[in-house]
Amino acid sequence: MAGLSLLLLLVAIVATSAKGYMDGMPHFTTEGRHFKVVEHDSITLPCRVVNIGNHIRAWKRGIAVLTAGNVKVSPDDRYSLIHGYDLEIRSITPQDEGEYICQIATLQPQEITHTLEVLVPPRILEVSGGGLVEARKGTPVTIECRATGNPPPFFQWTRRVNTTMPGLKPMNGSTITMGAVNRHQAGVYQCQANNGVGRSAFRDVTLRVLYAPEVEADETWVHSGIGNQAILTCTVYAEPPAEVRWYRSALKLDVTDDHTTEKRGNRHRLIIRQVQLQDLDNYTCEALNNLGKSRQYIVLSGNPRVAIFRSNPLSKWRDCYNISWSVFSYTPLQEHRLFYRRKQFDGQLPNSLLTERWGANMTHWYQHEWTEIIIPVDVYNDDITQEKYYLITNLDPATQYEAKVKASNSFGWNQMSDIFTFSTRGLDGYSWESSHPAHEIILASDNEIRDLGVMSADSGTHHFITLEIISLFIVIVLFFI
């Protein structure tokens, strides 16, 4: 049935065409269309007619006649007739957009209409501040980008460091808003306009955040020695740029052969070429601009740096441990002081059942005092980094200990080191962790608990039991009763 309908339609078309030929009347073989053309390109609008005879064809745009017959009426030399009576338009501009009519002059004029749409690549007309936006720290900022194009362009804001702003996704809007800006948001933002026609358009906007100086010291405590060089460094952030001054105590330092300053980007350095005794003092790095000022304090000291432990946390032996550390000091060291003790119970009970069983007294049963060892330096050592070893004896097997150390030179003592934890090996060669699980410590038998609280030495020495262990023993007995 569908085949028969198609056949009848073809017969009707042929019959109509034949009638046209027989009648000798002109008619179009092309239909009106919608054309899209990119700006500056060329386009050809077709106007094909059969049986034109002596009839005149004409191209019109609105009321303006562009061509009549073979004569070009319009003075615009971008128009021309090609391929018979097709209208060619060269160097298309947005003003060429509209309807173009091809007409046959008959008693009842026949015509077809072509619609021309000109596609225009994006063009950015304006950005906020002409490309420079200034804002005070803590105030909101809106940056706008205006562009034209057909179709309307799509906008995307990015940072010039090639990373999209956190939380900023491509958007159709032409603005971005930032609330309470800070120095980290300052920089160059790039507006990209794209509509799929030609190349994207780009324009930069520099956001300048104005704020009082912010000063950070690389080190607030710097070590040096007599005759050695010392470098004090602070990093300054400020907009507008800040003036940086250095003070020793309350005295402003001027540039001399012994004291020079250096600037590399945001980093400012005070260089003391040969430290003298009076140079070991408190220093101030001060920065100021028209929005305020800020400062950072730095101590230049001859005291040694903090000691750093170097030994392996696991001992090779059951009852002793060879502990080692290093100290950086331009001035020779005079003495070390080592402190160690059995590792303290941290008060964390394994589970709620044990908490109910033993109670709050559990957090006090494992406290020990520090044992102090004074280690003088007998041999002069001019190494800047000095290492020290000490063998700690009479330790318990499979036990954790903690240690700390400090050292002195002619200028005084350094700060106490961080606490270092080490452990002895068990009777079977295992460490404290493998031989003393937490639940075994808590649920030890009476003898084991007593052993943990009793420090024993060779025969003839005293045995002592701490008050906490006695209290715990009483609690255990009462529990089992």
- pLDDT at res. 187: 92
Is the pLDDT higher at 360 or at 327?
A: 327
3-state secondary structure the chain: CHHHHHHHHHHHHHHHHHHHHHHCCCEECCCCCEEEEECCCCEEECCCEECCCCCCEEEEECCEEEEECCEECCCCCCEEEECCCEEEECCCCHHHCEEEEEEECCCCCEEEEEEEEEEEEEEEEEEHHHHEEEEECCCCEEEEEEEEEECCCEEEEEECCCCCCCCCCCECCCEEEECCCCHHHCEEEEEEEECCCCCCEEEEEEEEEEEEEEEEECCCEEECCCCCCEEEEEEEEEECCCEEEEEECCEECCCCCCEEEEEECCEEEEEECCCCHHHCCEEEEEEEECCEEEEEEEEEECCCCCCEECCCCECCCCCCEEEEEEEECCCCEEEEEEEEEECCCCCCCCCHHHHHHHCHHHHHCCCCCCEEEEEECCCCCCCCEEEEEEEECCCCCCCEEEEEEEEEECCEECCCCCCEEEECCCCCCCCHHHHCCHHHHHCCCHHHHHHHHECCCCCCCCCCECHHHHHHHHHHHHHHC
Identify the pLDDT of residue 397: 95
The 10s digit of each residue's pLDDT in 40-51 is 999 999 999 999
With a cut of 80, say whether residue 22 has pLDDT above it.
Answer: no
- Say if residue 275's pLDDT is above 70: yes
Quote the pLDDT of residue 474: 62
- Give yes or no for residue 357 having a pLDDT over 90: no
The pTM of the full predicted model, rounded to 2 decimals, is 0.66
Residue 160: its pLDDT value, please? 75
Q: What is the pLDDT of residues 49-83, one digit of tens each?
A: 999 888 999 999 999 999 999 999 999 999 999 99
pLDDT tens across 108-139, in order? 889 999 999 999 999 999 999 999 999 999 99
- The answer to whether residue 270 scores a pLDDT higher than 90 is yes
The residue-averaged pLDDT of 277-302 equals 97
Mean pLDDT over all residues of the chain?
A: 83
